[in-house]
Amino acid sequence: MRAPDGRPIFLSGAWIGTGDPNAAPKPSVYYLRQTNDCLVWVGLSAADGEPLGASWIETFHGTIGSNFEIVGRWDEVLGDRNVVRRDELGSGLITLKIAFVPAGGEYDAELVLLDADGDLHYTKRWVREGTTP
């Protein structure tokens, strides 16, 4: 699978999450590992003044399709500070879309959560660390 500029898509690395495409991208950090069409990650809360993962930790395991969609299962676990109540922990199946953002003749990839109708849903948005959100 290749980006519009012909480069292979390789999602492994540190990513930062933001809830709004115009927000400062610092509320969460995700560490992704791609092996062929398999994608796994660990996501950690990153609130100012707290250690990574203090509020919540999230895991994901999914498959990257030829249509640039990623389908998989995510699960939240409690962080060190147990800010999230046990009954608020989420889990389930999600679908993300690999979106491409022009960046000086190349494309940066970002991951955007899709809602049940396949529409972009900016509750979750990830941008590879070191790229322009």
The predicted pLDDT at position 99 comes to 85
The predicted pLDDT at position 123 comes to 44
Residue 82 CB partners (closer than 8 Å, separation 6+): none
Beta bridge pairs of residue 60: 41, 74
Contact 1, 9 (CB under 8 A): yes
> Which tens digits make up the pLDDT trace of 62-90?
999 989 999 999 998 876 555 555 566 67
DSSP classification of residue 18: -
List strand residue ranges (DSSP E) for 36-90, in order: 38-45, 56-64, 69-78
Which tokens in the block code for residue 111?
């991951």
The predicted pLDDT at position 82 comes to 56
Q: Residue 92 — very low, low, confident or very high, per pLDDT cuts 50/70/90? A: confident
Q: Residue 34 — very low, low, confident or very high, per pLDDT cuts 50/70/90? A: very high
Which tokens in the block code for residue 42?
């660990």
Task: Please indicate whether residue 130 or residue 68 has the higher confidence score (pLDDT).
Answer: 68
Query: Rounded to an integer, what is the distance from CA 23 to the centroid of its chain?
Result: 15
Q: Which amino acid is at 131?
A: T
**Region label for 35, one of left (φ > 0), alpha (ψ between -120 and 50) or beta (otherwise):** beta
